[in-house]
Every structure is written in C-alpha cells, then in structure tokens.
Amino acid sequence: MGLFTKRETVVEKKQEDGFSAYNNPYVEELSNHYKNRLLNEVNLDNLTNMDQHEMRASIEQIITQFMSEEKVVISNRDKDHLLTRIIDESVGFGPLEPLLNDEEITEILINGHGEVYIEKRGQLKMTKIKFRNEKHVRHIIDRVVAPLGRRIDESSPMVDARLLDGSRVNAVIPPISLNGTLVSIRKFKKDPYTMQNLIDFNSINNQMTEFLQGIVTAKMNVLISGGTGSGKTTLLNALAKSIPNNERVITVEDSAELRLDRPNVVGLEARPPNTEGKGAITIRDLVRNALRMRPDRIVVGEVRGAEAFDMLQAMNTGHEGSLTTVHANSPLDAVRRLEGMIMMAGMELPSSIIREYIVGALDYIVQIERFQDGQRKMMSISEVVTDNKGGKVKLQEIFKFKRTGLELDGTVNGLFTPTGIKPNSLYRLKVFGQEMPDSMFQAKEEVNPDDSVSYI
C-alpha cells in the first residue's frame, strides 16, 4: 500500500469575487506531502526559470511520478487542484495567487492570517480566503522579499518590496503590528490606463482631457495632488503619454510603479538601507543625479520630503514640463505640503520666499479624489499665477467637478464644468501649437469666478 489510501473526496467549490475557492482536506494533505517532497528532492531554481506552461508540465510530471511510486489515485479534477496548490505554495504566493491573477483587483490587504480584503472598483470587500496560520503568511512574505536580498524579522519588522509584475508590497510583523502579520499589496495593470480609459470611467471629461494634454505638450510643470488611493500614479502614467517622443524622460521613484509606454525613457529607483543601516539611496539623491543625465523632463513618482526642493529647483532651471505627485487634500494644501518639505531640506528661508520659489516652479495643480462610493474624480485643474493688481500669488480653477447630490445607493452625482476663468497660459499653449477656443472655458451655469480663486 502507498503512503496514502484513496479516500472519498470532499469538495466545496465557491465562486467569489471572480475567483474560485476550493477546499478539500484530502487534496490539502496530499499537497503538503508532495510539496515537501518537491522541496527536498527537486532543484526548484531550474523550475522557476521556466515559463508558466513549462513549469506546470514539469511539476505535473514529477508529481505524477511521486503518486505512481506511492500508488495514490485521485480524480483528474482533484489532481488539477493538487497541482495548482503545489505550484502556488512552492514557486508562487499560495492563497494569494488567484487574487494576484485577477486584473480587476487593485489592492490586497491581509489583516493577520484569518482576514484577507480586496479592493475592486474602488470598494473594499472581505474574501473567504484564509491562511493556515501566521507561519503560513510569513512564509509567503519571505518568498517575496528573499530574492530582493531583504528580510523581515523582529530586528527588522517592516519591509517594502516589489513583485515581478511591479506590484508594490508592504509588510509589518509583531511586535510593531498588534494584529499579527499585516500585508498590503498595491497591484498595477499590465497595460496602464490611458486618458480615454479615464473618460470612459467618468473620472474626467473630454474638455479637461484636451486641456491637460495641451499643457503637458506645452512643457508646463504639473503637480498632481490627491489622497491615498485616489489615482495619482494612474493619472501621471496617462498624462505622460502626451510628452513628445523626441524628448528624453527620466523617472525617479521610491518604488517603481510608473510604466511610460514611450521611447527614450529611463527609470531610477530609491534603495533602502541594508541590514547594517548603510547603502541607502534616497529620492533626493536620485533627483540630483537625474539632472546630470541630460533630461528633457523629470517625472518624480511622489515627493514626500527634502527631494521637493531639488525637484522644484529642476523645474525652475530649465527642465520644463516636469510632472510629479503629492499627497494632499486640496491645491492649497499641496502648496503648504511643499513648503514644509522645503523646510525639511534645511532651507532657512522665510515662508514668503519659499512660496515664491514654489510658484516660480509650478504652472498647474491637478486635484483628484476618491469618493465613498469608489468613484475617482478629477476635482479641479488650477493654474498658479501672480495677481497683476496686488502682486499676490493665487490659484485659479479653470475646470472643476461640482457635486450635485447623492443617490439612495450612495452614488455621488455631479458634473464637470469650466469655471469661466480663462487661463493666463493661453499664449504659451498657442506657441506650442495647442490652441484652445474661448468656448472651452465658458461656464455651463451662472458662477461667481471669485469662488474659484484662492490666494496663497
């Protein structure tokens, strides 16, 4: 007799959120046994270098041989699930594999081994997927960080990493975490969204799209502002497609997320310190180095600290048309955040001088927001200008989203509208061949232009 005798198969198949959850105690017992044999008797390095089809075929051949040796017989359906579990656990990411393969899922959140949430279409949902125990979750995290030369343990209880498909992973373990192992995975589409996609999602309208593409083509400096998960990186990716192909673009990121589908683009990624606390390469280091690489434009994924000074300095000294994002809840808040970041850089300057420096660098601030119903909207496109009368610096909204109500199901209603203010940059747009008719800026209803102006 073999190690296992044939048992009656108990199958529970559930359809949930676009993937199948499968629970079979006998298959789970077999998978654990054969996974251990695979790890102990086979060189997994050779398997992981194969493509998915070759790898599955090789593992299937090996497992079939194991089963033949042990005289184990199961149905073809159970064998398919057995192979999937073994591949996921041995060379994949276990229970997370179906979630990672679902393109509609944008975020995966693990709150200890018993809770896994996903974000789909802007809404969080709890799944029925669970890990066996905390050790199982830690095993999956080790699979993520080990190839990157990173580790996570009590001496280093937080880690940032990136999967091969570009998905960003953050993990925290006890004693820092009070709820077991916590993992956040931010997924990214293989094919980044375009501005047309954003129009189809009703996140922006045609007029605003045309205007934004015009100011990017005309080499104006744009700051994208928004909260967590509002779509800043998605918009940055889509806008960057308007950069002419004959220009050299250098991207600088803390964790590589941008995918600019264009020629002559090179990327730089920050590096955290090693286990000895040495070897860190910061965003600020990279921005400074990017200036030596003959860029036409610099795109910084997100400014969070002292690198804001170097980024604005680049915008002020000939690197026009640069793009970056900042975590802020309004255009005015974005300016204040930048001001604080410049102070972090050790610039002992009065606030008035710092603000003049910011205004000299920025042309437009684009504010985006994610609503409670999951919708992401472009709330405003604001031009940064100096008031000719009082000499004050002001933000004037050119377009905005006006909320008009709330449906019974919680859906936010509203409309995109010009504010009636014509941008000061119309001449520059014309010089770059981006002529915008006056009708584009006519308000759809009676509005007071002063309501769309705020002073810095």
Q: What is the DSSP letter of 451?
A: G
Write out pLDDT tens, residues 246-270.
Answer: 999 999 998 788 888 788 999 999 8
In the predicted structure, residue 20 carries a pLDDT above the cut 80: no
**What are the φ/ψ torsions at residue 376 (nearest 5 degrees)?**
-115, 130
Cβ atoms 299, 236 nearer than 8 A:
yes
437: cis peptide before it, omega within 30°? no
Of 103-117, 209-223, 292-306, 382-396, the poorest mean pLDDT is in 382-396
Environment class of 259 (CB within 10 Å of its CB; exposed 0-12, middle 13-18, buried 19+): middle
β-strand pairing of 323-327 with 364-370: unpaired
164 pLDDT band (50/70/90 cuts)? confident
Q: How far is CA 108 from CA 105, 118, 191, 256, 339, in A?
A: 8, 5, 19, 18, 34
Q: Which of the given ranges, 1-5, 285-289, 294-298, 364-368, has the highest pLDDT on average?
A: 364-368
What is the overall mean pLDDT for the chain?
A: 84
Q: How far is CA 40 from CA 34, 71, 88, in A?
A: 10, 20, 17
The whole-angstrom distance between residue 149's C-alpha and the CA centroid of its chain comes to 23
In terms of Cα–Cα distance, which of 419, 356, 329, 426 is closest to 382?
Answer: 419
In terms of Cα–Cα distance, which of 349, 262, 362 is closest to 311?
Answer: 362
Tokens of 454: 């705020």
| Overall average pLDDT of the 327-337 stretch | 93
Q: DSSP per residue over 239-253, as a string?
A: HHTTS-TTS-EEEEE
279: left (phi over 0), alpha (psi -120 to 50) or beta: left
Write out pLDDT tens, residues 396-409.
Answer: 999 999 999 888 88
| Overall average pLDDT of the 87-93 stretch | 71
pLDDT computed for residue 11 by the predictor: 33
The tokens 């047309």 sit on which residue?
Answer: 196
In terms of Cα–Cα distance, which of 205, 200, 198, 217 is closest to 364?
Answer: 217
Amino acid at 199: I
Q: Which of the given ranges, 49-53, 209-213, 444-448, has the highest pLDDT on average?
A: 209-213
pLDDT computed for residue 316 by the predictor: 82
Q: Per DSSP, what are the bridge partners of residue 23?
A: 12
**What are the φ/ψ torsions at residue 135 (nearest 5 degrees)?**
-60, -35
Q: How far is CA 215 from CA 115, 220, 322, 365, 441, in A?
A: 45, 6, 11, 11, 15
Of 65-74, 208-217, 418-427, the poorest mean pLDDT is in 65-74
Measured between alpha carbons, how far is 265 from 245 in angstroms, rounded to an integer?
Answer: 9
What would you report as the CA-atom Rg of the chain, rounded to the nearest whole angstrom? 26
In the predicted structure, residue 2 carries a pLDDT above the cut 50: no
Amino acid at 270: A
In terms of Cα–Cα distance, which of 178, 108, 145 is closest to 272?
Answer: 145
